[in-house]
Structure 1
Amino acid sequence: MAQKPSIPKGTRDFNPEQVAKRNYIFNTVRGAFETFGFQPIETPSFENSDTLMGKYGEEGDRLIFKILNSGDYLSKANEEAYKEKDSTKLTSTISEKALRYDLTVPFARYVVQHQNEIEFPFKRYQIQPVWRADRPQKGRFREFFQCDADVVGSQSLWQEVEFIQLYDTVFSALKLEGVTIKINNRKILSGIAEVIGASDKLIDFTVALDKLDKIGEEKVKEEMLSKGISEDGISKLQPLFTLSGSFESQIESLKSILSASEEGQKGIEELAFINRAISELGLSTATLQLDVTLARGLNYYTGAIFEVSAPKQVNMGSIGGGGRYDDLTGIFGMKDVSGVGISFGLDRIYLVLEELGLFPETVAKNIEVLFINFGDKEALFSLKAIKQLRKQGINAELYPDAAKMKKQMNHANKRAIPFVVLVGDQEIESNTYTLKNMISGEQLKLSLDALISHIK
């Protein structure tokens, strides 16, 4: 007995309805990207291993899917590493390529490789799948799509302003209200660390601070103490633990807290600029919120940091994020190319729209009209009409076999096709079509023009 087929863990099949809903999100995001002047690029699904390895840290390297060399890959393997079962040394001799882990490093490679062809500032978007050899769990997959937009070659804060507007535009188009765009700045976090005498422990300090909402003030203080941050330094943080209120009032509080830090003051100025612009321009559905505990991607971001939260009635993590980086291409030898970028969490956005019932009823629309097949003569007559319907943008098809009418009707019902057309000798003689509404059961005999008009 043949073994039942399966797919690898952490991957998914998508049925027609799911693909239609995913495409609805893709097309909405893509439309907004292009409205804002971003240009599409695509990079290969796999890159040379040396392009990817060492760019994501030790943990990231471990999660990169390696591709075995073609042919007899063991013939060129490092024999010593093979005997010692040293996978690290062995991998480099039997695998020269790897599936891309994200879209950012391939984008950096693209910019460096094509720098003489690119007009800077360069606004690019990319919607492609990535692969990670992660442990599959709910909401975490080994193959998933990323939707990224970046601007490189400009330090202007107007780019950050535009990205906030872009987020708002997409979520407005998706009818997703109550989204919160959280913003912070790496310079503010650096300034806080400087003020409390923990500049050398910036990562430890921010990792602990980032947990404030989850574990509470006392636990955060305990973790900071365990990382070697002094009690005197932690006491200086007290105003941060209770920082709340409007964006403007938090900015004023930060000015006082960070008065002794030049770096911190610069971060405050940048956030104040962005907030003033957004206040003037306005947002449709999203809310901009300052969150000084936000520290995602701290090893990577150098200025603004974004994270987008779903509406409160949905129990979901972030549905987007990004920030400013000052040296994206430096990993490939092209220094001082500043950039800023954001991403959309497609899978989580899908789950949010599904839970809130926000997908349009027509999003999964497939065939609108099914022509019943009574035989070759009737089928040919039907196909002439189907050709005209398709020209008018109506999705129509002929049932391929002259099967029993009940079977064809059941097929239409199972596929939720709203109309069927019946063509027999009488219809052919009178050059008409019998249209049946599968919901109401109503039947009408119509000319071709009237048929098209009625369906539309």
Structure 2
Amino acid sequence: MKPSIPKGTRDFLPQQVNRRNYIFDIIRRVFIKYGYQAIETPVMENLSTLTGKYGEEGDRLLFKVLNNGDFLNKADEAALRERDSTKLIPSISKRGLRYDLTVPFARFVVMYQNDLAFPFKRYQIQPVWRADRPQKGRYQEFYQCDVDVVGSESLSYEAELVQIYDEVFAQLGIKTVIRINNRKILAGIAEVAGIPEQLVDMTVAIDKLDKIGIEGVRKELTERGIGAPAIATIEKILAIQTLPELEQALAASPTGLLGVTEIAAVMNYLEGYQLTNTLHFDITLARGLSYYTGCIFEVNVDTTAHPDVKMGSIGGGGRYADLTSVFGMRDMPGVGVSFGAERIYDVLEELQLFPAQDAAALQVLFIAFDAASHRYAFRCLNQLRAAGINADLYPDPVKLKKQMKYADDRQVPYVIIIGDQEMNTGQLSFKTMANGEQEQLTMAEIIARF
């Protein structure tokens, strides 16, 4: 059998793991700096926890886990005969892989509400799964790096999340555009267009604007039963670029005006703060997840700074007013954002922004000529490790050529060669692999080099 892995998943070689950890470490440090605490939740959740939280498209992308044992024993026979998978699933699957980290977090908050101090600021770095069509930058298994705060309606947290995005991407060296909008504005557009009951249909279509263009959005709106006059109104408002203009256009919608006020408040909090990246109010930003109720965010690579990078969003999130209410806990507002680690990795690799020196890579390899020098090298090895230097010893004193080939394969920057002369004098042969230069140094001098 030829070994393989499922479509949309990946293995990671040591260098890739180190580079991924470089991303995670930067994100984690910034989260902690802003006062967020780490939690973890299970890979699997009850399907009842997950379904109905991500909109119709999200529900279709949930990975379902078959019930244990003979799962067909209690299957809905009528659904089985009719080959109706939608009706069949509840009888054969009670669990699913988590689609994101936000809904499990809402469930977590409700379960542990008596153990948490509110506002509760949490971060979470774990994998999620979506049955999406694999393509560049889109995988079925991928990591999310989430940061949320629940228990406060303060818009200062929206401003703080903008700062977090800005600081992380500044440290990674990626120029980005942080787009912001408000779901209340979208609700206002639906009200002004006379289709408040079709808000979900409208936002699902608008959310695809950057993928299918305005013609595609117009077509989808029509297919969803939205009339031509309403579509014309929607298009006219989507063309607005400034908050004052938008305020006029939404004058008939109190909900829409509140959304404009909230966006303005976030901007006021950030007044005087020097952002490294671009913050842009984008009225076309919709984000398809149905639980957002206030400000929403999406981060894209700045194509002005990085014109050759073709990548979808590398971050996104928003405010949710009542996500915990479905789990029996009302009046628990929250807001959070996520970093798309897989896409960020691809962008860093394409732009060659990973550090040249991998902090987690092997720095020194000891090479010995015989058994006696091998034992001597082992003692020296322990001195380097005690000094915090990543070091290793080739396991056998075989031919020098074989040992040096291993050093090349491991891309070790420095090799220490030990034979009789080195043991007698304490001056070890220290070789720089990049240029072949070789020096005679004591252990103390070698340690001082790092």
RMSD: 2.5
Identify if the C-alpha distance between structure 1 residues 353 and 278 changes in structure 2 by more than 3 Å, giving closer, same or farther. same
Identify if the C-alpha distance between structure 1 residues 99 and 311 changes in structure 2 by more than 3 Å, giving closer, same or farther. same
Please list every run of 5 or more consecutive structure 1 residues that lacks an aligned counterpart in the other structure.
245-249
CA distance in 1, matches of 2:429, 2:56: 67
SS of the residue corresponding to residue 382 of structure 1 reads: helix
Partner residue of 1:420 out of 415, 419, 422: 415
Q: Does the aligned pair in 2 maintain the 1:203–1:298 contact within 8 Å?
A: no
Partner residue of 2:288 out of 274, 297, 300: 297
C-alpha displacement at 1:453, in angstroms? 1.6
Is 2:3 the counterpart of 1:5?
Answer: yes
Partner residue of 2:261 out of 246, 254, 269: 269
SS of the residue corresponding to residue 363 of structure 1 reads: coil
CA distance in 1, matches of 2:83, 2:228: 48
* 1:355-434 equivalence runs, <5 A: 355-363=350-358, 366-434=361-429
CA distance in 2, matches of 1:7, 1:58: 28
Is 2:250 the counterpart of 1:258?
Answer: yes
1:198 aligned partner: 195
Q: Does the aligned pair in 2 maintain the 1:17–1:364 contact within 8 Å?
A: no
Amino acid paired to 2:256: G
Amino acid paired to 1:325: Y
Deviation string, structure 1 residues 338-367 (Cα, Å, up to 9, x no partner): 100100111111111111121111136511
Identify if the C-alpha distance between structure 1 residues 126 and 439 changes in structure 2 by more than 3 Å, giving closer, same or farther. same
CA distance in 2, matches of 1:305, 1:57: 16
Q: Does the aligned pair in 2 maintain the 1:420–1:438 contact within 8 Å?
A: yes
Which deviates further from its counterpart, 45-54 or 71-80?
Answer: 71-80
1:186 aligned partner: 183
1:445 aligned partner: 440
1:307 aligned partner: 298
Identify if the C-alpha distance between structure 1 residues 55 and 229 changes in structure 2 by more than 3 Å, giving closer, same or farther. closer
Is 2:158 the counterpart of 1:163?
Answer: no
Amino acid paired to 2:273: L
CA distance in 1, matches of 2:190, 2:123: 34
Deviation string, structure 1 residues 44-63 (Cα, Å, up to 9, x no partner): 11223333344445544443
SS of the residue corresponding to residue 388 of structure 2 reads: coil
SS of the residue corresponding to residue 143 of structure 2 reads: strand
Deviation string, structure 1 residues 25-54 (Cα, Å, up to 9, x no partner): 111111111111110000111223333344
The total of aligned residue pairs comes to: 446
Partner residue of 1:133 out of 131, 134, 151: 131
2:113 aligned partner: 115
Amino acid paired to 1:265: L
Q: Does the aligned pair in 1 maintain the 2:287–2:296 contact within 8 Å?
A: yes
CA distance in 1, matches of 2:172, 2:205: 35
* 1:8-87 equivalence runs, <5 A: 8-73=6-71, 87=85
C-alpha displacement at 1:72, in angstroms? 4.9
Identify if the C-alpha distance between structure 1 residues 212 and 99 changes in structure 2 by more than 3 Å, giving closer, same or farther. closer
Identify if the C-alpha distance between structure 1 residues 376 and 207 changes in structure 2 by more than 3 Å, giving closer, same or farther. same
Q: Does the aligned pair in 1 maintain the 2:53–2:291 contact within 8 Å?
A: no
Amino acid paired to 1:301: Y
Partner residue of 2:322 out of 303, 311, 327: 327
Identify if the C-alpha distance between structure 1 residues 99 and 255 changes in structure 2 by more than 3 Å, giving closer, same or farther. closer
1:286 aligned partner: 277
Q: Does the aligned pair in 1 maintain the 2:368–2:419 contact within 8 Å?
A: no
Amino acid paired to 1:187: K
Please list every run of 5 or more consecutive structure 2 residues that lacks an aligned counterpart in the other structure.
none
Identify if the C-alpha distance between structure 1 residues 282 and 403 changes in structure 2 by more than 3 Å, giving closer, same or farther. same
Deviation string, structure 1 residues 218-275 (Cα, Å, up to 9, x no partner): 665565566555555555556535423xxxxx11111221222211211111111111
Q: Does the aligned pair in 1 maintain the 2:55–2:288 contact within 8 Å?
A: no
SS of the residue corresponding to residue 202 of structure 2 reads: helix
Identify if the C-alpha distance between structure 1 residues 11 and 298 changes in structure 2 by more than 3 Å, giving closer, same or farther. closer
TM-score by length of 1: 0.90
Identify if the C-alpha distance between structure 1 residues 168 and 57 changes in structure 2 by more than 3 Å, giving closer, same or farther. closer
CA distance in 1, matches of 2:73, 2:206: 51
TM-score by length of 2: 0.91
SS of the residue corresponding to residue 435 of structure 1 reads: strand
C-alpha displacement at 1:145, in angstroms? 0.8
* 1:99-114 equivalence runs, <5 A: 99-114=97-112
Q: Does the aligned pair in 2 maintain the 1:186–1:298 contact within 8 Å?
A: no
CA distance in 1, matches of 2:216, 2:324: 38
Deviation string, structure 1 residues 173-203 (Cα, Å, up to 9, x no partner): 11112x1111111111112222232222323
Which deviates further from its counterpart, 228-237 or 63-72?
Answer: 228-237
SS of the residue corresponding to residue 145 of structure 1 reads: strand
Is 2:237 the counterpart of 1:240?
Answer: yes
Amino acid paired to 1:189: L
1:142 aligned partner: 140
Identify if the C-alpha distance between structure 1 residues 405 and 118 changes in structure 2 by more than 3 Å, giving closer, same or farther. same
1:98 aligned partner: 96
CA distance in 2, matches of 1:141, 1:12: 9
C-alpha displacement at 1:279, in angstroms? 2.3
CA distance in 2, matches of 1:24, 1:366: 12
CA distance in 2, matches of 1:64, 1:146: 16
